[in-house]
Every structure is written in structure tokens, then in C-alpha cells.
Structure 1
Amino acid sequence: MNLLVKEVVTAVEGVNYAQHLDDQMISSVEFDTRKVQENSLFVPLKGARDGHDFIPQAIENGASLVLSEKDLSDDIAYIKVEDTLIALQKLSRFYLEKVGSKVIGITGSNGKTTTKDMTAAVLSQAFKTYKTQGNYNNHIGLPYTILSMPEDTEMLVLEMGMDHKGEIEVLSNLATPDIAAITLIGESHIEYLGSRQGIAEAKMEITSGLKDEGVLIIPNDEPLLKRLIVDISQEVESFGIDTQATLSAEIMSETKNDTQFKTNLFKEEVFSIPVLGSYNVKNALIALLIGHHFGISASKMKNGLETFDLTKNRTEWLKTNDGIDILSDVYNANPTAMKLVLDTFSALELEGRKFVVLGDMLELGELSSQMHESISEHISPNHIDQVYLYGEQMNALYNLLNDRMPKGNLHFYHKTEKKELMEHLSRQLQPKDTVFLKASNGMGLSEVVDFLLKNHE
């Protein structure tokens, strides 16, 4: 990015204590002093620590301009604002309008990141495209993503996350998307939103900033959303598998590394995605609808899907040196997502035994025990050989499965017993076995993945 200091002053509506730098260029905006470099604007934010405490370090690292809510010494070039976070958001809005890129906003209870990655891969076949990096999808990460995009960006793909009502509305009004997509409505954060209905309403906030001529994309099989779209004026398109949707897919084949499907709109093409699961086909349909909206040919979109880069820890296949396959999906979890992957994993034809390691799904509130128990219908001893359950909430599932699984094939570990879990699992696994791991990020199952990779070299 490149912005003049005087443009920054105008954008954030602050008091300029850096007039001598008005015509100097700012080339990056950072709130982490470790990323500050020459010609950076440093934005101190309030978190566990007050970012204002790190202003001297930012200047030492090369920052030429600072935003501040406080009066600073005369030797510091700064712009005084009432709220540095709001100023960051205002600046991102200014830069977005200056660049003029088309904006795609993506939200949903599951699949946001994969859909973002697929959409960016499809759009990049014809346009200069930039996407949310990692999980920078909140009120800080989204404006930071905007300010990090190159000036020649034509398509900006933004992931929008939330915990509470009202958060997506802020992000949507900031980004004003041309196209908004909702992947699915699950149970993530139901503790704060009360019900799936509350979650659907929170996800529909993505239409708050959707341009009048914009398009909303929703799953065809979600009645909660269908009831809500009657209140919006923008065009609505839908997606689904074996259903009457704007874009519908028929799955042709599925292996652990590849899923192939056909669609009703592009009848001549067989699309392939380098990930497993019908749920990922639905994510791909969103990407195809978006690419089609912008006039990208089916053949180019096919190439984009075949070669897309998946963000780390999202249904990632790994392999130990002694031949154990690991399906790692440890970044996040909710009941809908866990059931989808379990069903897909159960149906896979694999050479060795199948192990699953499931950790607590967090933020489910009063419904937590019931929702953990509901996973039982998706675990069958006919398809899964060994089950490891980890965390206090998983005790509800353990009690249900105790009479269904053969003796010695079901294991439960408290949250304090991660070491015991790792060691027992590691001893049981043999070459050609496959283990699937899924839990909320707070359960730290990534440590189990790392342990297996290290101890089976």
C-alpha cells in the first residue's frame, strides 16, 4: 500500500502532529511492533497490554508515524485520535475506496476459510486477487487485511468471523461487499447466540453492508436462512448437492485426497478438488458461483479449484515417516462440522485401521452435553476401530458409546491427561493406520499431531 501522511490524517479525522511529513508516503500499517519497518504507520491497540506502551519500540523499529489516543512528546510524529481501533477501521475504508477492488465477503459456522481459499484460487485465474491471511477475520484482522492488499488488487476475498451478535454487521458495513456468501449454519458460539436461529440471524448481518446491486449466496438446504432472505432486496443465489439450487452438484467420486463432481450449470466439466468431503464440494460451489458472476470460464475455474492452497490445520492430511496417515482438523469444531467429517472419514476405504480422536467442542452453553451426545450417531464400530475422547464435555459422548463400542476400543481422557492420551495413542498406532483428530482450537490437539509426527519418525 501507499498512502500520503496527509491522506491518513483525512481518513482517520485526527489532529495532525506530523505536518512536516504531510507529503511522505506510508507503505504499511502495523499494530504489532515485530512487523514494523521503515515507513510504517504504527497503530497501538488496547488488549492484554496497552499498545501505547510499545510506541517507543515501534519508532525504534522504523515507524515514521503513529496513531495515538494520548499526547506524545514533540519529537514523535503522530496523529491524535479518540479511538485507535476506530481510526484503523476508518483508514481501511478509505484505502478500500481508493483501490476500488471488488469485495467478496464470506461467513458461516464452518468452511469459511476453505471457501475463502477456493474463491481466491478461482478469481486469481482472471484477476489480481488478495485474500484474508490466516484467521485475520475479526474487527481488527479484517481492516488489517484491507490495508495489507496491494494497490493493484482487483478482487478482495474477506473472511468474516464472529462470536456475538452485531460483529458481522460491523465488518460488512466496513467492507461493503459486492458478493456475500454464507457457507452453513451450525452451532458455533450458540452459548452467546442462544439458538441456531440466533446464529442464522447473526450470519445474515453480512447483508448489512452488501451493495444494493450485490448478490447473496446461501445453502439451499437451510430453512432458517430462507425465512430471513425475504427481508433483503438484493439478488439471492443458492447452492447444494442433488437439489434444485442455482448451482447444484452431483458427486462422481471421492477418495481421501480428491473429490470429483459435476454441476448443472457447467455440464461439460468434471471438477476436482484436492480435499475430501461433500461439505467441501459445497464450499467449491460457492467459489464457482462467484467466479461465474465475474465471467470466468468453467475451464479456468476448474484449474483454480484443482490447485487451490488450503490454509493450515483445515482438514489437512499428514503422514508420519513410518507410514501412519493423519487427518488433522484441529483448528475449530462444532457438532455439524464434526458429524460431516466423521461421516466422510467413516466411508473412506483405507488399508489399515481407523482411529478417531475427538476433543471438546467449546462455546455450546447449556446444550453442550446434548450436542456432544449427538455425535454418537456418527460413530459406528463397523467403520471406526478405535475412539479416543478428550475433555470434560466429551464425557457425555463416552457414556453413550460405552455400551456400543467393543471393550478396549473406547478411551476417555480428562483435559489434564493429554500426555497420557498422546503416549497411549502413539503406542497403538501402526503403519498403514489412519487417525482423524478434531476439536475446538482451545483443546490443543495440534500438540497431539506434533507428538505423533515426532514419535513416528
Structure 2
Amino acid sequence: MIQSCSFSRLAEITGGHLRGTDGHFQSISTDTRRMSQGDLFVALIGPNFNGNRFVGQARQNGACAALVSEYSDSPLPQIRVENTLVALRALAADNRNQFGGLIFAVTGSNGKTTVKEMLASIMAQSGSVFSTRGNLNNHFGVPISLLQISAGHEYAVIELGASAKGEILFNTQLVQPDVAIITNAGEAHLEGFGSKDVIVRTKGEILAKLGKSGVAVLNMDDPAFGVWSSLLTEAKLVSFSAKGNPRSSVYAQHIERDESGVRFDMHFQDQRVAVSLPLPGLHTVSNALAAAAAAWSRGVSPRIIQQGLQRFSGVASRLQFRQWGSVQIIDDSYNANPSSVCAAIEVLSQQPGYQVAVLGDMAELGPEAERLHASVGKAALEYGIDRLMATGQFASVLADSATGIGESFGSKAELIPALVSIVEKQPMTTILVKGSRGARMEEVINWLEQKTVQAAKRNTESNADNNMKKMDDNKC
């Protein structure tokens, strides 16, 4: 938070009532398991939880007070409000209004987390930056993120996600961004939106609060570019293009891609810088351009942008490469939708060795789920990878659509032995692991790492035994 807040002022901001002695706090927590000494505990309520029941635990773990919708018997000072989420947002709005720095907000079906981190890396060359931590990008997470902005920050990069129409507008009203970025519009969360057109309009909600001094950063390569740009009335438009469209504000040319990453020339009207990133795929170029365009729109020089991008090393579980002996893992297990899976398979197709895609379900696709899973299987076939191994509800759809290379498994536990068998037979294997959050595909990586380490240990022990035997034979 920008500055400490008294319990009585919190009651004033939220329209609540304080019971107990007054005091101060400068940080909040919604989880008693991750609480720091002196936090305000915010007792949120959801379909499967009621924070009001944990006030006593919050006191034991160091909370100085609690924001509740029901008083508890705990002696902890409590500010009672009608709705704790509404109250949390009111407190977040107060902190936002105290912040005098620049706020960037980013949304999109794919790439928003990577763009957020790339932009944070760029802006860190000019000052102190706060960026959304983890996946705090929904109606709970955004106010929590805003409350993590402190007096020492000069810039903030806030990620906005959505699973239904109106959610981005709801959070944009709270964030009030100076610069709004839309990476693209795909078919993520189709179940909640109903159609691609609704997804496009929902992503455009981030532009709603931009005034004369605001900037909209839009992807000129996306079919929705015209729709989004038509929503602008006063804000400045800055565009980017990974396809090299010279009409855009920032664009790429001379793109070179291989298993080590991408290299390209980034053009800013009459200036050009060379960029090299240790991240594969054309989508990496688009993400870098989005971040660069946002920074450039606020006066950051191309040279500083280049330096910031060079310092970016990637985001955990998003196309992260790991090497275990002759096995190369592409860990993209954090989440999945049709376009992001196809982009990951394209990256896999450029890697050395026997290429295996291990895929879990893509969630929240609604009535289109079967068709979209089949489209991914067909893409795997078109990219020419060697094997597709699928698990989950739509495993058979994925496998059947990848004719000749697809195989389905009833569980991850059944898949692992088959995958280990492939690894043992091939001199070099590259394995892509991807699925939606609920598929928990990181378990495949953990199991595979364990099996690989055990196999390496056995090989080492076997070689040591053979060497000892040779030494004994030589003594004879």
C-alpha cells in the first residue's frame, strides 16, 4: 500500500463499522496460511469458502484486524461490512487513487502474462516496477494486486483476465490504466463467453476508461484490430505487427527462428534495434512487440526497450526448456487454449530429436470443446511431430484426430510408463507438456523428472560397477 491506513479510516472508506480498538495496517491478506505479521485479514466469501470462519486463525497467525461480513467471537478488532469483496475493491480504489505513477493494463487470450513480465523488465530500466504476481488477474486478484502497489513504485503493470463478459470492464474501472494493451483474441474460456465475437468485445472493454491522455496498444495482425480501434474516441492508438506491417507503430522484420529462440529487427518508425530472445516461436515476437509498443508510447527509447527485453528470461511453466540428459522438456503446463496449444506444437516441431506432445484437456470451451480439441490433433499432424499422447476427457478426440501418431490414455499414471518407454528407445527426445490448469500436467513433468533422474542414477552406478570390475580384472 502507498501508506498505512487506520481501522477507523477503513470503516469510513468501506461504509463499515469498527468493533474494537483502533490501529493501523499497511498490507492485507486473504489467506491465513500466507499471512504476515500486522496484515489486515480480509474475510472473502466464495462458493466453497467463508473467510469469516477463519478470523481466529488469522489472529493466531499475526493479523492486526479483520475485515468481515459477520462478527466472530475473536477479540481481534473487526470492521464489519455488508460485502467484503466490495469493501476490498473500495480500499484498492483508494490506494490506486493515491498512486501517481504510470499504470499499464494488459489483457488478451494468449500472451498477457509474458507481455506483463516483458513490459515490467523494460520499465525496470527506468524505475521501480510492480507487476501482477502469479495469476491474480480476476475480480478477486486485481484489487489485491492494486493494494500491493507501494510508495516506492513508479510504474505498475496489471494483468486482467476474464472468463465472462463484463469482467474486464469491471476491473478496468478499478485499475484506471494509463496504457491499455490487448495482445489478441482467441477461443479461451469459450464456455463462459458463448462466442468468439463476445470474446473480442470483452477484450475491448479494457479500452473503456481511456481518456485523452490514454494510450491503446493493439495488435494490427489480429482480425479484431478494426473492432478494437473503432472503440477509441479520445485515446491515442499505438499498434504493433509481428508480420512486418509497416503501417503499424512498431513492427518486426527479418525474423529468424530455431530451437534456441528468436532473433529479429524491431522497427519504431525511423529507428531500428536488433532483438534476440532465448524463447521460441513467432508468438514470442508478437509478445515482445506488444510490450515494446507500450513502453515506447510513454517515451521509453528503443535502446532501453532492447536492454529490457534482453534481460527477460521467460515465465515459469510457459514454454520453459529443461534438459535431462538426452531428454529435452518444453514445460508449457501452466494453462492451455486452442491457439496457445497450436503455437506450442509449432515450437515443438522445430526441436531436435523425436518430438512428443503430451496434452491434457483444454477447459471451458463449452459446446465447441470436441471440435476445438480435434483441431489441435489435426494441427499436430500438420506440423509433422512424431507422437501425440493425450489424457483427460477429450483424450480420444485429440488422439483420433491425429491419425497415425495419436494415442489416448485413461490417466496420467497410465501415460507415464508409455512415455518413459519412448524416452528409453530414442537417442534424443523432445517432449512438450501442456494442458489447462485443471489438468495438472505439471505432474507429468514431475514424474518424468523422477524417472529420468532414477535412470541416470542407475546408469551411473552401473558404469561405476563396470569400472570397478575392470580395475579388479587388471589387478589379476
Q: Which TM-score bucket, shorter chain as reference?
A: over 0.9
Instruction: Give the Cα–Cα distance (whole angstroms) in 2 for the partners of residues 226 and 7 of structure 1.
Output: 45
Aligned to 2:389: 388
Aligned to 1:138: 138
Q: TM-score, normalised by structure 1?
A: 0.92
Q: Does structure 1 residue 451 correspond to structure 2 residue 455? A: no
Instruction: Give the Cα–Cα distance (whole angstroms) in 2 for the partners of residues 92 and 361 of structure 1.
Output: 33
1:295 to 299, 311, 315: 299
Q: Which range is displaced more, 169-178 or 215-224?
A: 215-224
1:172/1:210 contact within 8 Å kept: no
Q: CA deviation at 1:73?
A: 4.9
Q: Does structure 1 residue 10 correspond to structure 2 residue 6? A: no
Aligned to 2:421: 427
1:312 to 313, 316, 319: 316
Q: Does structure 1 residue 45 correspond to structure 2 residue 49? A: no
Secondary structure at 2:285 match in 1: helix
Q: Aligned AA for 1:420?
A: E
CA shift in 2, pair 1:74/1:385, >3 Å: closer
Q: Does structure 1 residue 365 correspond to structure 2 residue 342? A: no
Q: CA deviation at 1:12?
A: 1.9
Instruction: Give the Cα–Cα distance (whole angstroms) in 1 for the partners of residues 437 and 41 of structure 2.
Output: 30
2:396/2:407 contact within 8 Å kept: no
1:50-449 matches, cutoff 5 A: 50-73=50-73, 75-233=75-233, 234-241=235-242, 242-243=244-245, 244-265=247-268, 267-320=271-324, 322-346=325-349, 348-350=350-352, 352-380=353-381, 383-402=384-403, 405=404, 409-414=405-410, 417-429=411-423, 430-449=426-445
Q: CA deviation at 1:291?
A: 1.4
Q: CA deviation at 1:376?
A: 3.9
2:181/2:294 contact within 8 Å kept: no
Secondary structure at 2:398 match in 1: helix
CA shift in 2, pair 1:341/1:74, >3 Å: closer
Q: CA deviation at 1:81?
A: 1.1
Bigger radius of gyration, 1 or 2?
A: 2
CA shift in 2, pair 1:134/1:431, >3 Å: farther
Secondary structure at 1:62 match in 2: coil
Instruction: Give the Cα–Cα distance (whole angstroms) in 2 for the partners of residues 158 and 79 of structure 1.
Output: 28
Secondary structure at 1:368 match in 2: helix
Instruction: Give the Cα–Cα distance (whole angstroms) in 2 for the partners of residues 183 and 65 of structure 1.
Output: 40
Secondary structure at 1:264 match in 2: strand
Q: CA deviation at 1:194?
A: 1.6
1:251/1:259 contact within 8 Å kept: no
CA shift in 2, pair 1:80/1:349, >3 Å: closer
Instruction: Give the Cα–Cα distance (whole angstroms) in 2 for the partners of residues 431 and 106 of structure 1.
Output: 42
Secondary structure at 1:310 match in 2: coil
Q: CA deviation at 1:249?
A: 0.7
Gaps of at least 5 residues in structure 1 are: none
Q: CA deviation at 1:377?
A: 4.0
Instruction: Give the Cα–Cα distance (whole angstroms) in 2 for the partners of residues 382 and 145 of structure 1.
Output: 39
Instruction: Give the Cα–Cα distance (whole angstroms) in 2 for the partners of residues 382 and 309 of structure 1.
Output: 26
Aligned to 2:33: 34
Residues 312-333 of structure 1 show CA distances to partners (whole Å, capped at 9, x for unaligned) of 111111122x331000111111
2:130/2:153 contact within 8 Å kept: yes
Residues 214-243 of structure 1 show CA distances to partners (whole Å, capped at 9, x for unaligned) of 111111122334124323212222211222
Q: CA deviation at 1:28?
A: 1.2
2:118/2:291 contact within 8 Å kept: yes
CA shift in 2, pair 1:208/1:456, >3 Å: same
Quote the sequence identity (%): 30
Q: Which range is displaced more, 39-48 or 221-230?
A: 221-230
1:121/1:307 contact within 8 Å kept: yes
Instruction: Give the Cα–Cα distance (whole angstroms) in 1 for the partners of residues 390 and 75 of structure 2.
Output: 58
Q: Aligned AA for 1:440?
A: S
CA shift in 2, pair 1:284/1:229, >3 Å: same
Q: Aligned AA for 2:414?
A: E
Instruction: Give the Cα–Cα distance (whole angstroms) in 1 for the partners of residues 95 and 214 of structure 2.
Output: 21
Instruction: Give the Cα–Cα distance (whole angstroms) in 2 for the partners of residues 425 and 338 of structure 1.
Output: 19
Q: Which range is displaced more, 417-426 or 211-220?
A: 211-220
Gaps of at least 5 residues in structure 2 are: 454-476
1:14/1:80 contact within 8 Å kept: yes
Residues 328-377 of structure 1 show CA distances to partners (whole Å, capped at 9, x for unaligned) of 1111111111122222321x252x21111122212111111211222244
Secondary structure at 1:336 match in 2: helix
Instruction: Give the Cα–Cα distance (whole angstroms) in 1 for the partners of residues 377 and 61 of structure 2.
Output: 53
Instruction: Give the Cα–Cα distance (whole angstroms) in 2 for the partners of residues 225 and 198 of structure 1.
Output: 14
Residues 75-101 of structure 1 show CA distances to partners (whole Å, capped at 9, x for unaligned) of 431222111111111101101111322
Instruction: Give the Cα–Cα distance (whole angstroms) in 1 for the partners of residues 255 and 169 of structure 2.
Output: 38
Secondary structure at 2:67 match in 1: strand
Residues 179-208 of structure 1 show CA distances to partners (whole Å, capped at 9, x for unaligned) of 111111110111121211110011111123
Residues 263-321 of structure 1 show CA distances to partners (whole Å, capped at 9, x for unaligned) of 2217441012221111111111111111112222222211211112433111111122x
Instruction: Give the Cα–Cα distance (whole angstroms) in 1 for the partners of residues 275 and 161 of structure 2.
Output: 28
Secondary structure at 1:355 match in 2: strand
Instruction: Give the Cα–Cα distance (whole angstroms) in 1 for the partners of residues 194 and 15 of structure 2.
Output: 38
Of the two structures, which has the highest relative contact order with CA contacts closer than 8 Å and spacing of 6 or more? Answer: 1
Alignment length, in residue pairs?
444
1:216/1:236 contact within 8 Å kept: yes
Report the aligned-residue RMSD: 1.9
